[in-house]
A and B are shown apart, each in its own frame.
Chain A
Amino acid sequence: MAEFINFYLIPGLVLGSIYALGAIGITMTFGILRFANFAHGETMTLGVYIAWSLVQLTGFKSMVAILLVLMPVSMMLTIMVVLLIDKAFYRPLRASPVIILVIASFGLMLMIRSVTQFSWGVQLKTILPGIQPRMHLFDFFSFPLKHVFIVGGALLLMYAVHYVLTYTKIGKAMRATSDSPELARLTGINTEKVVMATWVMGAGLACAAGVFLAVDTQVDTMMGFKILLPMFAAAILGGVGKPYGAMAGGLVIGVAEELSSYPWLGDGPLLEPGYKQGIAFAIMIAILVWRPTGLFKGKSF
């Protein structure tokens, strides 16, 4: 039991929190700007490299300093870059058919990745070096302290998203625009502002998710792309356009991926860990076939 929780469930929750944060951006972009943003993973990678550079620059090496000081700064920088990208690439295409936007985001994905690789190199880096302390609870549970920070930080950010969407004018306008962009415009909602708010939220959360992932594992130019599929799966599972769905979907997929290699039957893992990502893919296909609107009744296509 302890093994199950320490080595499968907790890592699942950690991974799930990271997916959830990333999926919120994907689902909001889909809901409000109406396209699947392939560059979202790269936004995440970029955020991580910005954070990594800040760590080198400032010499802050402790987890607390990284997460409480450098991460918010990197989030802001990432947001600025993404807003510039929106201005340069997406705004001129705002009225174009969706497929043009999807292709544009695909192009941006390649561009951002190349710039990242060119600027920072392709070798693996670590953002949080050294052996990290573990926490022990009731001599039974044991997990790295960083996991507490990751899950706690993710929950805090998700609460912030909830707060913005429920209690602020711009948040309500975001939900309204996601419901119906046409009506939002007829109502006089400033849709450009809503679009900006969407990028701010998406990019900020993507950077945070990336930094959490980097703290948990390592820094790699492909890291964002590698988790793009599970993030899409989370958004689809939750219901496209539904931020709470994305949160739930992210957690479910993260936990499902980790639990898939638990020795449910006999001694060996049920599924070799190498196939973990297949789980997200399988869930995505199943949802698309049987319940395309997802858990939270999102848009279906």
Chain B
Amino acid sequence: MSVLELDNVVGGYGDTQILHGVSLHVDAGEIVVIIGPNGAGKSTAMKAVFGLLKLTDGAVLLDGNTITNTPPEKVVRQGVCYVPQTGNIFPSLTVEENLEMGAFVRTDDFKPRLKEIYEMFPPLLEKRLQPAGTLSGGQRQMVAMGKALMLEPKILLLDEPTAGLSPKFRGEIFETVRTINSAGTPILMVEQNAKQALGIANRGYVLVDGKNRFEGTGQDLLNDPEVAEMFLGGGKQPEKPPAKTQKPAAKKQPRKSGKT
């Protein structure tokens, strides 16, 4: 049984339909990457898991149980952690406070977990009393991921963790993703840097226009001539405009979140 499964999900924001039938699954221990052109609905598919948009059809299953259209604060309690692309840390809180907030829904003692997180991200231990907003981009991502991992989630969702980072940090983040995964957490990740992401992924999905286009193991997709031509070839084309198409989705989110 898959840890997470999206079964032909259809939905969007308000009247705008973005997902026209996306199916994917993440099995225990896997890293699964979603790639695709801008506006393909990659991030939206991920938000669908987290109850951030209204699904009109299809189902989201966690460990075989339906969680379709469950609001985010409840999805978290079921063991799904989501790291948004931007605004994924509390800048005025210290690193340690950020991690503590990650454990907000835990009622047991999270101190041992905190220690594990610091072992996983040594730079954070050093800066634990600094406001998270003062950290570098790469370290902020570490805080964001560490915060999500405080819950020891069943699955971790990462929305473009390397967006806006320099190549050096990008490599570091992918390395971190691999570390987290090897500690046992399955990961579903949306990425613009398709080549690198597929390199560390067990499997990948290519979404186009809100639908599955290709799927396969990371290597298969890397070797597929059509995929290569579309997304990996020049690499530059699909990388530039994302800022534009990603914006509307990002803007919707805070409004939606206001509704409790």
Residues of A within 8 A of B (CB): 34, 94-95, 169, 172-173, 175-176, 178-192
Nearest residue, chain B, Cβ from A242: B92
8 A Cβ contacts from B77-134 to A: 77, 82, 84, 87-93, 97-98, 100-102, 104-105
Bound complex: CA A182 to CA B100 (Å): 17
Nearest residue, chain B, Cβ from A297: B92
Which of B76, B147, B254 interacts with A181 by CB under 8 Å? B254
Most buried by A among B73, B147, B254, B259: B73
Which of B76, B259, B260 interacts with A187 by CB under 8 Å? B76
Given known A-B contacts A95-B260, A173-B101, A188 and B84 have beta carbons under 8 A apart: no
Task: Type the 1/0 row for B216-257, where 1 means its CB is closer than 8 Å to any CB of A.
Answer: 000000000000000000000000000000000000011001
B87 touches A182 (CB 8 A): yes
Bound complex: CA A31 to CA B141 (Å): 24
Is B258 in contact with chain A by the CB < 8 A criterion? Answer: yes
Task: Type the 1/0 row for B146-161, where 1 means its CB is closer than 8 Å to any CB of A.
Answer: 0100010000000000
A187 touches B257 (CB 8 A): no
* Residues in B whose Cβ lies below 8 Å from that of A182: 84, 87, 253-254, 257
* Residues in B whose Cβ lies below 8 Å from that of A178: 92
Nearest residue, chain A, Cβ from B257: A182
Is B37 in contact with chain A by the CB < 8 A criterion? Answer: no
Given known A-B contacts A175-B92, A179-B93, A182-B254, A190 and B100 have beta carbons under 8 A apart: no
* Residues in A whose Cβ lies below 8 Å from that of B89: 183
Bound complex: CA A185 to CA B260 (Å): 9
Is B205 in contact with chain A by the CB < 8 A criterion? Answer: no
B257 touches A185 (CB 8 A): yes
* Residues in A whose Cβ lies below 8 Å from that of B186: none
* Residues in A whose Cβ lies below 8 Å from that of B93: 172, 175-176, 179
* Residues in A whose Cβ lies below 8 Å from that of B76: 186-188
